[in-house]
């Protein structure tokens, strides 16, 4: 740790790795409505947030645990398909509140092509929100979980014991990981039915 008269202590939230103050400043100055995507070790959270001097206001939010509780999702709650579905759910809720656009807020995340965070934004876009993200390497097959399904097929053939270990949670929840793309489509259809209903 630096010491001496010229040492500057970082803001607490920056020190804790929670806030990028430069990005925060640009959002505050633009007063943009933000689609905030955060990914934890187990979950994905997508919110639409408005700036307010007294403290940001969350207008709508979706948590990936809701996929299991409300829509019968049996896959992991922080993988690519789950992030897309969580973004889609947040997008539906935003549209129902009359929100039509937002800018993507990725916090301290370093943007890389094809990252899960962009799949969450893609979900919100497909639900009807206008969010400029450019070309961020979205792969339609990955979005549906085909990469997980292909890996599961390969692993089951080559090492059945490891297959059972790696995908134990899927199997416990009653889903063969090879069927993830079709399961993804079922859950998305339920959401679309709710959106149009």
- Per-residue confidence band for 2, with pLDDT thresholds at 50, 70 and 90: low
Domains and CATH numbers, the chain: 18-196 (3.30.420.100)
**Is it the case that residue 113 has pLDDT exceeding 80?**
yes
More confident residue, 173 or 23: 173
User: Is the Cβ–Cβ distance between 39 and 79 less than 8 Å?
Assistant: no
pLDDT of 148 = 97
Least-confidence region, from 23-37, 77-91, 110-124: 23-37
pLDDT of 192 = 92
- What's the rounded Cα separation, in Å, for the pair 111 and 120? 13
**Is it the case that residue 21 has pLDDT exceeding 90?**
no
pLDDT of 194 = 74
More confident residue, 196 or 46: 46
- What's the rounded Cα separation, in Å, for the pair 143 and 82? 9
By CB atoms closer than 10 A (0-12, 13-18, 19+), residue 73 is buried
Q: What is the pLDDT of residues 31-75, one digit of tens each?
A: 789 999 999 999 999 999 998 877 789 999 999 999 999 999 999
- Per-residue confidence band for 24, with pLDDT thresholds at 50, 70 and 90: low
Beta strands at 103-105 and 34-39: parallel, antiparallel or unpaired: parallel
Question: What one-character DSSP code corresponds to residue 177?
Answer: G
Say what percent of the chain tops pLDDT 90.
Answer: 74
Give the strands of the sheet with 34-39, arranged side by side. 57-63, 44-50, 34-39, 103-105
pLDDT of 109 = 77
Task: Quote the pTM value.
Answer: 0.85
Q: What is the pLDDT of residues 149-186, one digit of tens each?
A: 999 999 999 999 999 999 999 999 999 999 999 999 99
């Amino acid at each position: 740790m630096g010491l001496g008269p010229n040492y500057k202590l970082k803001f607490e939230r920056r020190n804790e790795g929670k806030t990028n103050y430069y990005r925060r400043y640009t959002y505050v100055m633009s007063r943009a409505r933000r689609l905030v995507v955060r990914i934890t070790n187990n979950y994905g959270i997508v919110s639409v947030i408005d700036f307010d001097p007294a403290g940001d206001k969350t207008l709508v939010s979706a948590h990936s645990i809701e996929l299991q509780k409300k829509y019968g999702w049996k896959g992991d709650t922080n993988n690519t398909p789950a992030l897309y579905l969580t973004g889609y759910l947040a997008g539906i809720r935003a549209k129902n509140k009359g929100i039509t656009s937002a800018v993507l807020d990725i916090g301290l995340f370093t943007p890389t092509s094809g990252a899960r965070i962009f799949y969450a934004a893609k979900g919100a876009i497909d639900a009807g929100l206008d969010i400029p993200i450019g070309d961020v390497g979205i792969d339609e097959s990955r979005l549906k979980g085909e990469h997980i399904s292909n890996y599961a097929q390969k692993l089951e053939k080559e090492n059945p014991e490891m297959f059972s270990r790696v995908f134990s949670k899927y199997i416990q929840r009653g889903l063969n990981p090879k069927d993830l793309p079709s399961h993804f489509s079922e859950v998305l259809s339920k959401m679309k039915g709710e959106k149009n209903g």
